[in-house]
Structure 1
Amino acid sequence: MLLMPGLWQGAAAATPRAPVVLVVGDSLSAEYGLQRGTGWVALLEKKLAAEKPAARVINASISGDTTSGGRSRLAALLKQHQPTHVIIELGGNDALRGLPLTMSRDNLQAMARAAKAAGAKVMLVGMQVPPNYGPRYTQDFSAMFGSVAQAEGAALVPFLLAGVADAPNAERLFQADRIHPTAEAHPTILANVWPVFSRWLPLR
């Protein structure tokens, strides 16, 4: 049977794209102070290779990055990699620098909208700050991620460092700077991401 050219093009166009997962984050995703291949994004890539071999993970995380930095470089990343899924793990450095929450929220929302406009699904990765920031700031910062995710229809990991920063043995799970988790903590970090990720990007 000979297919007409138009029918052939339609059949080709219907073939689903292999997933391309773009991670835009800060030092928590960029393996700061770690041996390469031991951070949670690398562990995600290894696990995904077993579960969905056709998928690709691109780690575009930069240590020290803020939501403003991520927003400024996202357009180029979307154009270059054309991801099907975008994970945004930013905001911690905004808090460390005392940046206004309204600005951080606007940046996260703009990033989510830009990724969706490019045809990608979006996941936000939430963070929390220590109580010494003050109860109001601590609460508003934590809630920011959920409010943006809800407004933009994005998937949400509520707290990337759950089971690490709040663990009884938290001190030994962090590097000497007490900010960046050790390699030992990163499987726990992946365990926080994976249940949300596996629903967000169907594996079978």
Structure 2
Amino acid sequence: MKFPLPALALLAALALTGCNSDQPATTADQPAVAPVPPANTRRILFFGNSLTAGMGLDPEEAFPALIGQKIDSARLGYTVINAGLSGETTAGGRSRIGWVLRQPVEFFILELGANDGLRGLPLADTRRNLQAIIDTVKKKSPQAQIILAGMQMPPNLGKAYAKDFQSIYPELAQKNNAVLIPFLLEGVAGHVELNQKDGIHPTAKGDRIIAKTVWGVLLPLLKKA
């Protein structure tokens, strides 16, 4: 997929808003980890950065919450946990994944890597960190279905870098028998009207599009389960 020029500003701004993985979520964000539900609850855990956290939105407008609403409407019997943290890198995610998975989950949606790429971090490190996160999920929740949310980089980082970055996600998905969302921001990146005034994060309407993208992948898996 080719990035339209407005997407460059949006993705570049993502790197500026919080590439420090130690940065706590703001009051506008979802909490890093929602309260742990009862032990007999079936869980869907979203693990990512500010895109998952819903930075700048009310908690119920973030796409994981929208997925939760769809699940409740369909009476599918799952609890959605939003473990998004603004500014998270794959290294930061690797350091906290063990604590986040205090209880087993049935579905694990992994959305990390954008902040790595936009900072120009070595792709080998990004790949290694994502694999380590996946390995931890397999160890702590061996029954979990892992869904990997793909991301893309703007071409101004270099065509080779952007291409190699994009390839990380399908390669890891194939290696780990994970389900791939090719591009989480499909239909949102590069569309000014679907992003907040800061030019950084999707609006509520943008997150509804993201939720539709995720739901198209998740629903068939829930039905099978």
TM-score category (smaller protein)? 0.7 to 0.9
What is the TM-score with the length of structure 2 in the denominator?
0.77
1:75 and 1:132 map into 2 onto residues whose CA distance is 35
1:200 and 1:124 map into 2 onto residues whose CA distance is 13
Which residue in the other structure is 1:171 paired with? Answer: 192
1:192 and 1:140 map into 2 onto residues whose CA distance is 23
Q: Secondary structure at the match of 2:189?
A: coil
Is the CA contact 1:115–1:121 (under 8 Å) kept in the aligned structure 2?
no
Which residue in the other structure is 1:102 paired with? Answer: 124
Q: Secondary structure at the match of 2:59?
A: coil
Gaps of 5+ in 1: 1-16
1:148 and 1:200 map into 2 onto residues whose CA distance is 19
Q: Secondary structure at the match of 2:50?
A: coil
Q: Secondary structure at the match of 1:201?
A: helix
1:200 and 1:113 map into 2 onto residues whose CA distance is 21
1:158 and 1:76 map into 2 onto residues whose CA distance is 28
Following superposition of structure 1 onto structure 2, how do residues 102-181 of structure 1 map, counting pairs within 5 Å? Answer: 102-118=124-140, 119=142, 120-166=144-190, 170-181=191-202
Q: Which amino acid aligns with 2:84?
A: S
Deviation at 1:18, TM superposition (A): 4.7
Which residue in the other structure is 1:194 paired with? Answer: 215
- 4+ residue stretches of structure 1 with deviation over 3 A? none
After superposition, the C-alpha distances for 1:126-146 in whole angstroms (9 at most, x for unaligned) are 111112111111111111111
Q: Give the alignment partner of residue 34 of structure 1, picking from 53, 57, 66.
A: 57
1:75 and 1:145 map into 2 onto residues whose CA distance is 21
Per mean C-alpha deviation after superposition, the further-off stretch among 130-139 and 171-180 is: 171-180
Deviation at 1:102, TM superposition (A): 0.6
Gaps of 5+ in 2: 1-39
Q: Which has the larger radius of gyration?
A: 1
Is the CA contact 2:120–2:157 (under 8 Å) kept in the aligned structure 1?
no
Q: Which amino acid aligns with 1:178?
A: G
Deviation at 1:201, TM superposition (A): 2.4
Q: How many residues align?
A: 184
> Are 2:99 and 1:76 aligned?
yes
Sequence identity (%)? 42
Is the CA contact 2:149–2:182 (under 8 Å) kept in the aligned structure 1?
yes
Q: Which amino acid aligns with 1:58?
A: I
Is the CA contact 1:51–1:203 (under 8 Å) kept in the aligned structure 2?
no
- Please provide the CA RMSD for this pair: 1.5
Q: Secondary structure at the match of 1:202?
A: helix
Which residue in the other structure is 2:77 paired with? Answer: 54
After superposition, the C-alpha distances for 1:156-183 in whole angstroms (9 at most, x for unaligned) are 10100001115xxx11211233221111
Q: Which amino acid aligns with 1:35?
A: D
